[in-house]
Every structure is written in structure tokens, then in C-alpha cells.
Amino acid sequence: MNIATLIPTPDAIPVHWGWLRFFQIVTFFIHLLFMNIVLGSSLIALLEVCGNHRGKGTGVRDFERDIFQKLPFVIAFAVNAGVAPLLFLQVLYGNLIYPSSILMGVYWLSVIGVLIVAYYSAYLMKYKFDALGRFSHFLIGLIPLLFLYIAFVFVNNMTLMQRPSAWIAYFTNAGGTLLNLRDPILWPRFVHFVTASVAVAGLFMAAVRSTGKPTGEAGAAGHVDRGMRYYILATGTQMIVGVWFLVKLPTPVRGLIMGGDPYFAGLLLVGICGGLGGIYLALKRRVWPTIWLTLVVTAAMVLLRDLIRAAYLQPYHEMKVIPVQPQYGPMIVFIVSLISGAAVIGYMLRLAFRSKEERMDPAP
């Protein structure tokens, strides 16, 4: 069977594909940050509990509480920020992501239910952290497990969509229970993302405690220290995982990264150097420079990821051949609403921070 036969004809797009790709990359970058914080911080909470049980941790309870105080907010933004890139992904790659989603439909759809459970669990931890007693340990174990599952499903889909040769399995199993387990890059990619999430979440924990109140609050310095330690360990591990990932990539794609294409190679170089630089800065406990550097590395990795996907799909799908039926008006409306929305958000945040400072009497 000619595999190309299985790839649906793409629908027409309303603007040049470059715009959609730009929006997709930018919004994915934002989503990735929130998502990493969600997954990484829930994993860190679990690691902390495990460490505490072995008698190594002190003040861990505060650190965990701190994590779960923020987790529901971050989940909300992670979900919201995930909608936009998935939307633009469907516009650019709908003819690939839909078939792969259907092949693994059971797992793909289960993400919604799992996320609802994880989200409510996070709220439970936020509001009832102390009242839950030992049940909180169960949730601390459950929540990262659920997020790991979601990450695993996403990694499966994102790799399956760029591997149409694996789609043929549909003809022996149309029940939506296929996974991309035979893809050599599945596990390294998954571990790569999970490791990155721990690093980003560690950095987030440190950043939160180093903003405006590091000295005044009990244990703040310890929290920063703990966060940076996770960052260092995860980023160090990433160097090994990254090599594993690189090795498992198909030869033509790896060739591009290893110097075959300057963009690929350059982005990887940024990633490696940024990682090493980040470790150095983190060892010095320079939180914000580490953050800025990590943002650069993350952006480079997002771009590299996008290029790798394009390279994977090169025989089957090229964005420049997607038909265009130009209508730019709706995009302008979107941009205007985005700018206006940002302004209103700024205004609302200003009101919120001002009230925090003023601590108004709540009497009506």
C-alpha cells in the first residue's frame, strides 16, 4: 500500500501559512512553559515527599503546600495556552493529527477525563492540604502520575502524526487503542520532556520565592535553593537524555541536526550551550539570569522541534502546498482582540495588585 494514499488532502487556509506557523510556535512556547511547570512541580512534590519519608527533607511540607497553592492556577493557564497551539496545529497539520488521534482515540480522548481528575485533585490539595492527612500523599502520588500519562499520550500523538508509515496498523485495529510504541524516539522524547519539566518547574519554584519576598518569608531561601537544585539535576540529566534522543532520531533527520543544516545545528548548539550556561548560573544561585537563559533555550528547542517535524514529514506534507483562500480580516480581528485582551488583563492585574497592597476593608 502506498502510504501517501492515507494522508488526507489538506483543507484551504485563510492566510499565508507563515502566519499560522508563527502563531503556532509562539503559543506553543507559552503552553510549554506552563505545562512544564504543571508536570514538573507535581513531580517535584512527589520527589519531595519521597525524600521526606527517607528522613532527608526538612520543611518539605511548606514546599509542597507552596506547590499546590499555585498548581491550579498554572493548570488553568497551561490548558488555556494549550488550546491555541493545538488550534493552529490542526490548521497546518490537521490532515496528519486527525488520523493519528483517531488511531489512538481511546487514549487521546481519555486525556480530558484524566485532566479533570488531576485538576480537581489539585484544587483539593490547594483547599484541603492539611485536612486531607495521609490522603494527601495518595494525591501527591496520583497527580504527577496523571500528568505523566497525559504527557505520554501527547508524545505518542505528536510522534505518530509524523510517522504515517505506522498508520497501517489501523487496518488490524480500528478501535482507537494504538500507540506509537515502536517509534524509536518515543521514549527518549518523552523522557526529554519530563526531564525538562522538572528543570523548568524547579526554576519556577525558585523564581516565585525570589520575587520581592525572599528575605521576609520563612524558608524562602530554602525554597529557592531546592528549586535551583532540581533545575541543575534535571538539566544535567538532560545532557544525557538529549544524546539518547539524538541517537534515536532517523539518520536523515539526525544528519540535519549534526551539521547538515545550519539552522538545525545552530538551534541544538544554543540548546546545549544554554543548558550548560544555565547549570553554571544556577550553581551561582543567580535565579533570574538562569530563567532568561532557559527561556532562550526553550525557544530554541521549540523551533528545533518544529523543524524536526517538518523534516519528518517532508516526503508527505509541505505547508507551502496547502491551498490558500485569502481572507485576512478575521486575523486582524484576532490580533486586535489579542492586544485589547492583553490591555484589559493588564488593567485587571493592576487592580488586583493594587488591592493587595491597599488591603481594603471588605465591608460592603
Partner 1 sequence: MNSIWLIHYPVWDLGALGGGFLIALMATVHVYVSHFAVGGGLFLVLTERKAVRENSWALLAYVHRHSRFFLLLTMVFGALTGVGIWFTISLLNPTATSKLIHIFVFAFATEWVFFLCEIISLFIYYYTFDSMERGRHMRIGWLYALFAFLSLFIINGIIAFMLTPGKWLVTQNFWHGFFNPTFWPALFFRTFMALMLAGIFGLVTAVFTREEALQEILMRYCAKWVLFPFLLLMVAAYGYIAVLPEPQTAVIFDRSPEIRPFLTLFAAIGALLFIVGCLMMARPFSIRRKRIIAFGLLIAGFFFMGSFEWIREAGRRPYILYGVTYSNSVSAQDMEKVAQQGILASTRWTQRRTIGKDNQMAVGRDLFRLMCSGCHSIGGPLQDIKALTRTLPVAGMAAMLDGMGKVNDYMPPFPGTEEEKQALAIYIVEELNQVIDRETPVIAPAQRPFEQPLFHDATDGYVLLAWSDQGMQLLSDADCFFSLTSPGLDIHAQLVRRGEAPEIVSDGVDMTYRIEAGFETPARQVDYWRFAKTLVGKEVAPNMGAAGKSVTDRMEFMEENLSFIARKVPVVPYTSADEFQPYPLIAVEARDRSSGNLLAATKFTAAVSTEMGCRHCHGGPWRVQQTAGISDPTARDILTVHDRINRTDLAVRAGDGAPRSCRECHPSREDDPGKPEGINLSAAIHGFHANYMTGRGADACVLCHPASSEGFTRGFRGIHHTLGLDCTNCHARMEDHAIGLLVTELNAAKKGASRLMKNLTPKMTDDMNKIAARKPWVNEPDCLNCHQEFQPPDVDQVELNQWTKSEEQLFRRRTDEVGLRCPACHGITHAVYPAENIFGHNRDTVQPVQYQGEAYPIGANRNCKTCHTVDMTEEIHHPNMLGMFRNTQ
Using CB under 8 A as the binding rule, the residues of this chain from 73 to 112 that contact partner 1 are: 73, 76-77, 79-80, 83-84, 86-88, 90-91, 94-95, 97-99, 101-103, 105, 108-109, 111-112
Kindly tell me which of 52 and 110 has the beta carbon lying closer to partner 1.
Answer: 110
Task: Give me the least distance between CB of 3 and partner 1, in Å please.
Answer: 11
Angle of helix 135-160 versus helix 60-103 axis, rounded to 10: 30
Could you give the 3-state DSSP secondary structure of residue 316?
coil
Specify which residues 163 forms β-bridges with: none
Task: Give me the least distance between CB of 14 and partner 1, in Å please.
Answer: 7
Task: Give me the least distance between CB of 139 and partner 1, in Å please.
Answer: 15
Query: b vs e for 88-119, b when ≥16 Cβ sit within 10 Å of the residue's Cβ?
Result: bbbbbbbbbbebbbebbeebbeebeebbeebb
Task: Give me the least distance between CB of 264 and partner 1, in Å please.
Answer: 28
Q: Which of 217, 299, 227, 300 is nearest to 257 (CA)?
A: 300
Does residue 320 touch partner 1 according to CB under 8 A? no
Q: Which of 37, 115, 150, 228 binds partner 1 (CB under 8 A)?
A: 115
**Three cell numbers at 41?**
512541580
Does residue 23 touch partner 1 according to CB under 8 A? yes
Q: Which of 127, 151, 142, 129 is nearest to 36 (CA)?
A: 151
Residue 303 C-beta-side C-alpha neighbours within 13 Å? 17
Considering only residues 170 to 209 of the shown chain, the ones binding partner 1 according to CB under 8 A are 170-171, 174-176
Does residue 8 touch partner 1 according to CB under 8 A? yes
Q: Residues touching partner 1: how many (CB under 8 A)?
A: 74
Cα 107 to the chain's mean position, in Å? 18
Q: Which of 116, 181, 239, 269 binds partner 1 (CB under 8 A)?
A: 116
Considering only residues 322 to 341 of the shown chain, the ones binding partner 1 according to CB under 8 A are 323, 325, 327, 329-331, 333-334, 337-338, 341
